[in-house]
Amino acid sequence: MVEGNTKKLLRSIMAKAASYVEILISALLLIGILIGAINLGTELIAMGKVALIAPDITMPVEEYLATGLQLIIGVEFIKMISKHTVGSTIDVLLFAIARKLVVSHGGAIDLLLGIIAIAILFIIKRYFGNKCERCPIDPAKAKLKES
Under DSSP, is residue 19 helix (H, G, I), strand (E, B) or coil? Answer: helix
Please give the Cα distance from 66 to 102 (Å, whole number): 8
Residue 13: the pLDDT is: 93
Q: What is the mean pLDDT of the chain?
A: 82
> Per mean pLDDT, which range of 17-31, 56-70, 71-85 is the poorest?
56-70
Q: How many CB atoms lie within 10 A of CB 76?
A: 19
Residue 37: the pLDDT is: 95
Rg of the chain (C-alpha set): 22
| Beta strand spans in 3-120 (E) | none
Tally of domains in the chain:
1
Domain that holds residue 86: 2-136
Whether 142 maps to a domain, the answer reads no
Whether 123 maps to a domain, the answer reads yes
Whether 77 maps to a domain, the answer reads yes
Q: Are 134 and 103 in contact (CB under 8 A)?
A: no
The number of C-alpha atoms within 13 Å of 59 and in the hemisphere containing its C-beta is 16
Residues 6 or more apart whose CB falls under 8 angstroms from that of 36 comprise 67, 70, 71, 74
- Say if pTM beats, i.e. exceeds, 0.75: no
